[in-house]
């Protein structure tokens, strides 16, 4: 049997358009002699469709799109398509997360997802009922019958020691054991997470060992709102050894021949084929962020992007990502110096914009600061000072950026990092302005590491592939090595207000991603005063985060849909 792995980038809710994407992949697969085309979880809808699933008209439209696919399906080819299957009767929620088998002239439902994640960013029990039985699809190919075990995404995640949780008492992999399948197919929509690819490989290898059968893992690719799906699909043999690997953070289609095993026996695999090597973790992270910005802009209808370029490392990294995502000709940057801005920062920002080929303008804000001082003095009895004065600078800059974005129809990119969002070291209606928080899930220490890699020789091939200058410094040593500062008052440093990031970031990661309590942190040796300070800042900043732009998720727990803390709490 020859399989085509169609690693697709759908647009959520675009049933007809996604159907055309699937059909185009089927035509390519047919030209390669494929017998069966695999597409990702909910490939007809795009994942996650969220409350679009609650619209009866879209459920009805899905049936017509499937009929159209069946009429257009190439002969002698079968498609596995991710769909929402209506449940019979009046059971609520009234859908199954399912797979449909589409062939020339007809289609039918063949698999229902059994494990429905309802943690982190997932909320599938809001929309779906769990499937109750294992799914085995029997097909003829290559002159023999094949028994294909079908699972959907979470159904593979049943190894407690690998994933850190046991989602359900149901074991979809174990239930397939007595069925003597030839192949296990897992069709997924699994968002990117650092080191998550390694876990997927180990889960697939464990399933292969339990079933004595090869495993095909096919993942969605592309950015949908704050989630970025990295693709990185693969095949492992019955011993868990990799045979095929698809691209990371890019659409891909690969043909794989499972070989002619006799009926009832485990299919022997062909020799390992040439496949892209696993990218460096820094490269994976960069490519996923670039994909997230590119798709967010394209799928929301933005042709251009805009950001404020301060000469600091955060805005420098966002500028690089934006240039790679959209092309330098479609990225505008503003320098907005105040009387406290250093000449070095202004020069660094100008040099970076020139290296990247970005359109740059300079708008000094000193006159606006003076006008605000004059306007507020009657109400305050004196010009604004302290934090009020500092926040006004940020809000003046935010207003200018929003005005330019409005006028040019561009997407304003926020440049704040996760460390700042965590402790509230950011200004509502100022530097938090924007339609997308590009690096809002990167701790400051991670940003330093990524920028160091970007300026190293090892990044040259990736930079070239993304259309960035491949040689020489990109971020620049001057930006990478300067002490972090918002430059809102003379000689200001982040360290004036925050602990050193080498101390702060591990505490934040423990609180946010591992959900450690202050008592646990102190028991493990952390300074009690530091713990109290950091956890207090984290709690008090919740009202700001609730109003922040969507954050591209790249960690185990990001602010946004996977972080649902109350604003008013003890």
| Residue 535 near residue 529, CB atoms below 8 Å | no
Residue 345, both tokens: 């920062």
Burial per residue of 427-463, b for 16 or more beta-carbon CB atoms within 10 angstroms, e otherwise: bbebbbbbbbbbbbbbbbbbbbebbebbbeeebeebb
Distance, in Å, from the CA atom of 290 to the CA atom of 327, rounded to the nearest integer, reads 11
Q: What is the pLDDT of residue 162?
A: 66
Residue 104: pLDDT band with limits 50, 70, 90: very high
Q: What is the pLDDT of residue 264?
A: 35
pLDDT for 62 beyond 80: yes
Residue 114, both tokens: 């059994």
Q: What is the pLDDT of residue 168?
A: 63
Q: Which region holds residue 259: left if phi is over 0, alpha if psi is between -120 and 50, else beta?
A: left
- Max Cα-Cα span within the chain: 90
DSSP for 440-502 reads TTS-HHHHHHHHHHHTSGGGHHHHHHTTS--SS-SS-HHHHHSPP---SSTT--GGGTS--HH
Distance, in Å, from the CA atom of 239 to the CA atom of 28, rounded to the nearest integer, reads 30
Q: What is the pLDDT of residue 166?
A: 55
Task: Give the mean model confidence (pLDDT) for residues 261-277.
Answer: 43
Task: Give the mean model confidence (pLDDT) for residues 215-224.
Answer: 98
Structural domain spans, the chain: 2-278, 286-495+541-545
pLDDT for 276 beyond 70: no
Q: Which one is predicted more confidently, 316 or 105?
A: 316
CB atoms within 10 A of CB 286: 25
* CA 516 to each of CA 25, 425, 510, 512, 531: distance values in angstroms, whole numbers, following the listed order: 46, 22, 6, 8, 11
Chain position carrying tokens 């950001």: 307
pLDDT for 263 beyond 70: no
Does domain 286-495+541-545 bear CATH number 2.40.110.10?
A: no
pLDDT for 58 beyond 70: yes
> Each residue of 107-116: pLDDT tens digit?
999 999 999 9
Sequence-separated (6 or more) residues with CB below 8 Å from residue 181:
136, 147, 148, 149, 211, 213
CB atoms within 10 A of CB 377: 12
> Each residue of 443-477: pLDDT tens digit?
999 999 999 999 999 999 999 999 999 999 999 99
Q: What is the pLDDT of residue 165?
A: 56
Residue 211, both tokens: 């079933």
Which pTM does this prediction carry? 0.94
CATH for 2-278 is 3.60.110.10
Catalytic (active-site) positions: 41, 113, 153
Beta strands in 11-60 (DSSP E): 36-38
Distance, in Å, from the CA atom of 255 to the CA atom of 277, rounded to the nearest integer, reads 17
* CA 488 to each of CA 321, 360, 382, 427, 496: distance values in angstroms, whole numbers, following the listed order: 26, 22, 19, 12, 12
């Amino acid at each position: 049997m020859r399989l085509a792995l169609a690693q697709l980038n759908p647009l959520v809710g675009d049933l007809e358009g996604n159907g055309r994407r699937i059909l185009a992949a089927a035509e390519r697969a047919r030209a390669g002699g494929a017998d069966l085309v695999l597409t990702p979880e909910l490939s007809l809808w795009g994942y996650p469709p969220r409350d679009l699933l609650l619209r009866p008209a879209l459920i009805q439209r899905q049936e017509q799109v499937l009929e159209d696919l069946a009429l257009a399906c190439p002969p002698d080819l079968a498609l596995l398509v991710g769909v929402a299957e209506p449940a019979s009767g009046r059971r609520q929620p009234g859908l199954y997360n399912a797979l449909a088998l589409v062939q020339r002239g007809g289609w039918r439902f063949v698999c229902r997802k059994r494990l429905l994640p309802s943690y982190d960013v997932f909320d599938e029990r809001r929309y779906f009922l769990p499937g109750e039985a294992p799914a085995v699809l029997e097909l003829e190919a290559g002159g023999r019958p094949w028994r294909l075990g079908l699972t959907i995404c979470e159904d593979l995640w049943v190894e407690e020691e690998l994933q850190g949780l046991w989602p359900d008492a149901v074991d979809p992999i174990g239930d397939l054991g007595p069925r003597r399948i030839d192949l296990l197919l897992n069709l997924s929509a699994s968002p990117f997470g650092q080191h998550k690819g390694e876990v997927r490989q180990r889960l697939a290898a464990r399933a292969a060992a339990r079933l004595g059968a090869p495993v095909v893992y096919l993942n969605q690719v592309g950015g949908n709102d704050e989630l970025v799906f990295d693709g990185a699909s693969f095949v492992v043999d019955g011993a868990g050894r990799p045979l095929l690997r698809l691209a990371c953070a890019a659409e891909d289609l690969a043909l794989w021949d499972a070989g002619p095993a006799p009926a009832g026996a485990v299919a022997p695999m062909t020799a390992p084929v040439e496949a892209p090597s696993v990218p460096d973790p820094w490269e994976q992270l960069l490519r996923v962020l670039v994909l997230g910005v590119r798709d967010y802009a394209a799928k929301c209808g933005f042709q251009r992007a805009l950001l404020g370029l301060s000469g600091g490392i955060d805005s420098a990294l966002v500028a690089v990502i934006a240039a790679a995502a959209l092309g330098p000709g479609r990225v505008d940057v503003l320098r907005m110096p105040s009387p406290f801005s250093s000449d070095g920062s202004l020069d660094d920002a100008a040099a970076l914009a020139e290296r990247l080929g970005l359109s740059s303008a300079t708008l000094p804000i000193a006159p606006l600061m003076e006008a605000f001082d004059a306007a507020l003095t009657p109400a305050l009895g004196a010009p604004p000072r302290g934090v009020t004065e500092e926040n006004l600078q940020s809000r003046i800059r935010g207003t200018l950026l929003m005005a330019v974005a409005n006028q040019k129809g561009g997407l304003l990119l926020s440049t704040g990092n996760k460390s700042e969002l965590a402790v509230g070291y950011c200004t509502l209606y100022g530097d938090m302005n924007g339609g997308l928080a590009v690096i809002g899930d990167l701790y400051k220490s991670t940003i330093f590491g990524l920028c160091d890699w970007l300026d190293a020789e090892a990044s040259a091939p990736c930079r070239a592939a993304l259309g960035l200058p491949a040689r020489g410094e990109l971020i620049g040593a001057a930006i990478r090595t300067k002490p972090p500062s918002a430059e809102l008052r003379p000689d200001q440093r982040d360290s004036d207000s925050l602990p050193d990031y080498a101390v702060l970031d591990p505490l934040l990661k423990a609180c946010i991603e591992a959900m450690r309590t202050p008592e646990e942190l102190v028991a493990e040796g952390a300074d009690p005063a530091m713990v109290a300070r950091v956890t207090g800042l984290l709690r008090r900043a919740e009202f700001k985060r609730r109003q922040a732009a969507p954050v591209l998720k790249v960690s185990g727990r990001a602010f946004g849909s996977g972080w649902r803390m109350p604003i008013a709490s003890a």
